[in-house]
Structure 1
């Protein structure tokens, strides 16, 4: 410290060291920035060095899911403050998150202020982003040529008003971002980043003989012009005999976002395993929720999509992981805020049922036992636990269909071609119903064996045409009945033989020619 006795050097770190002790990984669900910050401050500073009224973020939306990943809590809050345009600093006494502190300090150039300097930064403020909204399956984009909420500081306004001279007006080609999930988000993103660039338009520097704290709002009077500023850098000097001064760097206090705002700031993550704890997606998109293997604390995610090998409207492959499954999580662009399921893993407790040393077996098996299995050079099986099975026997070149219930074929036309033999075995009853015609051709012998009666009911004519002999044998009686007439015609002889009597009876006359 300048002004300390010779040989004594004092070096200190602010109380933010309490938040910067070790890296952590955890998730915050359904929380806003204030709730996240208060939770961290209360947990890691034991309630010291912060006051609730100093934790007032201007960004108040609730996050469905906000992860802290392999970073200290200080770095996490620092990242959030840059991403959402919030002031975050330690003012020497308390942590501040969200807004700046006002004060009555007024510096007069040439009296309490010396070496006063002004630096303008005439650069482009324009911003243009494009992204993707998967809920609407549409491109989203937003752009801003300059901020509409810029500082009214005289020098800052010069930079703002002259944007057209330092940048081309074309905003059509922008940068891709996955930080926005819908049109509202990407519009906010563009406006916030433009406001952050506006905060870098002008910088004020000087040496003050009055104490100024980091993040403190104060006033400079330069002749007849006043500038209301916020200190962004301060170096304090305690000199011999207790004389004090400080060097500062400041920006206009009315900027809409801090100068370090960076809406594209995110924490990078690599692919990792997780366990599914919910798969009943209310939006019916096949998404899942997972628990990360991050140790103690909250490690649950929000809904994330699952990669499919083939997908599209009215088509695709659909496999949704089961609760308890181990899945592989990846991140869009490495962004920890944008996880998705890229695959599933077997593990020591859930081993593959299809494993074989020669890797001949492939297949799918569902949780209730439905099975689709391929064994190379052997066959294919499609089965369920009820006993239904279709088996394609590659070794013996057979196909077997098995069911313990009813097998029904519904089709317009059915053609069965059998090169050799065909057998049909029915243990109980068989019914054939034919709506129009029935044709049957037998190239050789046709044999019908009936254990009981044989009934033929014909509503029209009954015709038999036999090129060879016709023999009919009844081991008991035979009756030929015709309600009208009964005719026997032959081109040759008609012989009737009986071992006993032949009786010809007629209710009327009988003729013999």
Structure 2
């Protein structure tokens, strides 16, 4: 066991020179943590027995750890910077007080709050920059060099801390993201140190190769193309697995023949993007098929470091060195006792892995319905979609274009009711994924002067922004059953009222014109038909026929004029033409008066010329 001297220094410049136990845990996916046990007098006046100044001196302060060998010159490359988040005072069995300091890597600051916000047309690197930009660089030093720089059309941080969101996004993009003890790395990790690790009995290793179900397929529906993209893991080849991982993956595929079927709820718009996601998923899961673990005695490496593992075995003619390969550290625990005895335990994956292993700490958010306000309904694709602004506390709350649900749809048919600007809508999520919102329905908030309830719920209404209205009134108590089409601001101008009381009634009224036009026939049939005009009634046709089964009466208070190329009046029995004053029959040519039996002309005075 290697003996080391630990240098422990707080940001105030105070150095802790005596300690009884130190433990530092580092992981690829979680916040690094430490526990440091120090004598009471290291932080307080030995004459005291309780908290006086220690908690003020250490809580919330940055703390740095490094090691150097006791029996040799030089130093180790290990360095770790953390933040003290807890101080505890405890009594040992011999009634001696000791302090226990606990803390985390600076990445713990990214857990400061859960929030909800949206990002549009940004790369993962740009999103990471915008989030981390709100944290001081002296506490969270970072290096962002993402490998995949395609823009994400829409990404949502949904009730997640910044750390949880960035971790999830990194996993979805197949990007490395970890704290190496000094800085937060996102993306490129090629600059990681390579450390020689010799298995010699003191330093040990354990490697396992396991077989697991590895076949799967993913399906995604793209509504813009009305197409489903299906990608199978068997169709995706991955590089950089190494011989052991390749062997384990091939055997797993052969042994477990059935393929799991999964549905992706993500706004993919092409087959290549789905194939890339399946490829990443296959690669990260394959990383767990080979598990390399070990114990070491030198604090030379941290998370992300590459170990070049070898062992020396004796032979008759000397010694032979055998290489076990290179492995990237994903977890490590450093422990030092009060005498400076150091040991570590670590886990690693083959260094050739292109993608990080699967992050099993990620909890994918489950989205629930949300309220939102419509901010745009002018869909450039003319699909009836809208943009909404969530009623979240964050200012970054605008969606991409969102589909609107309707009771009835079909290709070239259905209902189309697009919510108005500033309308309040309820957002649902396909597959409970925050990346896949859609509009379920609309709600009415209370606004001054607006009323949406009628007594006894007698009215159902569709009212448009210009006042056009379709009104259904059903009041059995008042014997009212009617449908009205009108304008709420101009009901006296024009209205169509269909009543269902008694025998029913249809009333069409307007202060303007009523135009009936048909390419073929217009038929009117009723018990009685009345037509009344304040000024004129004009009837015009190529042929005009007026008939009655009984009587036809024509009456005018002034003049009644009949004019035609030819006028014929015929009666089956009697024809009578009379006038109260004068009756005049004339023609410009000939006038014939004849009777089949008798012509009778009678008057007080008869003049014939």
Tell me if both proteins adopt one fold, taking TM over 0.5 as the criterion.
Answer: yes
Alignment of 1:349-498 (within 5 A): 349=447, 353-377=451-475, 378=480, 379-384=482-487, 385=489, 387-395=493-501, 397-411=504-518, 412-419=520-527, 421-436=528-543, 438-444=545-551, 446-449=553-556, 451-452=558-559, 454-458=561-565, 460=566, 462-473=568-579, 475-476=581-582, 478-481=584-587, 483=589, 485-498=590-603
Partners in 2 of 1:64 and 1:185 — Cα distance? 12
Partner residue in 2 for 1:104 = 194
Does structure 1 conserve the Cα–Cα contact (< 8 Å) formed by 2:236 and 2:275?
Answer: no
Q: In the alignment, is residue 28 of structure 1 matched against residue 131 of structure 2?
A: no
Partner residue in 1 for 2:151 = 62
Alignment of 1:230-241 (within 5 A): 230-241=328-339
Partners in 1 of 2:581 and 2:273 — Cα distance? 96
Q: 1:9 to 1:263 in 2, by over 3 A?
A: closer
Does structure 2 conserve the Cα–Cα contact (< 8 Å) formed by 1:234 and 1:249?
Answer: yes
Cα deviation for residue 239 of structure 1 reads 3.6
Does structure 1 conserve the Cα–Cα contact (< 8 Å) formed by 2:155 and 2:435?
Answer: yes
Aligned residues: 496
SS in 2 for 1:39: helix
SS in 1 for 2:435: coil
Does structure 2 conserve the Cα–Cα contact (< 8 Å) formed by 1:199 and 1:256?
Answer: no
Q: Deviations over 1:67-90 (max 9, x none)?
A: 212221111112212222222211
Partner residue in 2 for 1:175 = 262
Cα deviation for residue 279 of structure 1 reads 0.8
Partners in 1 of 2:111 and 2:105 — Cα distance? 11
Alignment of 1:206-221 (within 5 A): 206-208=294-296, 209-221=298-310
SS in 2 for 1:174: strand
Cα deviation for residue 27 of structure 1 reads 1.7
Cα deviation for residue 434 of structure 1 reads 2.0
Cα deviation for residue 238 of structure 1 reads 2.1
- In the alignment, which of 243, 254, 272 is matched to residue 370 of structure 2? 272
Q: 1:13 to 1:210 in 2, by over 3 A?
A: closer
Partners in 2 of 1:55 and 1:480 — Cα distance? 112
Q: 1:468 to 1:359 in 2, by over 3 A?
A: same
Q: Deviations over 1:217-254 (max 9, x none)?
A: 33222433252221111101224543433211000122
Does structure 1 conserve the Cα–Cα contact (< 8 Å) formed by 2:370 and 2:427?
Answer: yes
Does structure 1 conserve the Cα–Cα contact (< 8 Å) formed by 2:231 and 2:274?
Answer: yes
SS in 2 for 1:198: helix
Q: Which moved more, 1:489-498 or 1:364-373?
A: 489-498
Q: What TM-score results when the alignment is normalised by the length of structure 1?
A: 0.89
Partners in 1 of 2:439 and 2:562 — Cα distance? 68
Cα deviation for residue 393 of structure 1 reads 2.9
- In the alignment, which of 24, 37, 40 is matched to residue 131 of structure 2? 40
Q: In the alignment, is residue 92 of structure 1 matched against residue 198 of structure 2?
A: no
Does structure 2 conserve the Cα–Cα contact (< 8 Å) formed by 1:266 and 1:336?
Answer: no
Partners in 2 of 1:264 and 1:93 — Cα distance? 23
Cα deviation for residue 323 of structure 1 reads 0.6
Partner residue in 1 for 2:53 = none
Does structure 1 conserve the Cα–Cα contact (< 8 Å) formed by 2:215 and 2:253?
Answer: no
Alignment of 1:122-271 (within 5 A): 122-145=211-234, 147-168=236-257, 174-182=261-269, 183-208=271-296, 209-222=298-311, 223-260=321-358, 266-271=364-369
- In the alignment, which of 386, 391, 401 is matched to residue 293 of structure 1? 391
Q: Deviations over 1:436-478 (max 9, x none)?
A: 45242152352322523513213x5634234234123273461
Does structure 1 conserve the Cα–Cα contact (< 8 Å) formed by 2:214 and 2:253?
Answer: no
Does structure 2 conserve the Cα–Cα contact (< 8 Å) formed by 1:51 and 1:94?
Answer: yes
Cα deviation for residue 128 of structure 1 reads 0.2
Q: Which moved more, 1:425-434 or 1:228-237?
A: 425-434
Cα deviation for residue 192 of structure 1 reads 1.5
Alignment of 1:72-83 (within 5 A): 72-83=161-172
Partners in 2 of 1:147 and 1:50 — Cα distance? 37
- In the alignment, which of 348, 352, 361 is matched to residue 446 of structure 2? 348
Q: Deviations over 1:402-424 (max 9, x none)?
A: 122221222322222212x3221
Q: Give me the CA root mean square deviation.
A: 2.6
Q: 1:470 to 1:235 in 2, by over 3 A?
A: same
Does structure 2 conserve the Cα–Cα contact (< 8 Å) formed by 1:125 and 1:145?
Answer: no
Cα deviation for residue 356 of structure 1 reads 1.2
Partners in 1 of 2:523 and 2:471 — Cα distance? 29
Cα deviation for residue 200 of structure 1 reads 1.3
SS in 2 for 1:97: strand
Q: Deviations over 1:21-74 (max 9, x none)?
A: 12112222222111111111111x22334455x212223221222121222111
Alignment of 1:285-324 (within 5 A): 285-324=383-422
Gaps of 5+ in 1: 505-513
Q: 1:306 to 1:360 in 2, by over 3 A?
A: same
Partners in 2 of 1:486 and 1:262 — Cα distance? 115
Partners in 2 of 1:365 and 1:232 — Cα distance? 62
Partners in 2 of 1:261 and 1:403 — Cα distance? 70
Does structure 1 conserve the Cα–Cα contact (< 8 Å) formed by 2:168 and 2:362?
Answer: no
- More strand as a share of residues: 2
Does structure 2 conserve the Cα–Cα contact (< 8 Å) formed by 1:88 and 1:96?
Answer: yes
Q: Which moved more, 1:25-34 or 1:217-226?
A: 217-226
Partner residue in 2 for 1:511 = none
Q: 1:373 to 1:264 in 2, by over 3 A?
A: farther
Q: 1:191 to 1:351 in 2, by over 3 A?
A: farther
Does structure 1 conserve the Cα–Cα contact (< 8 Å) formed by 2:199 and 2:309?
Answer: yes
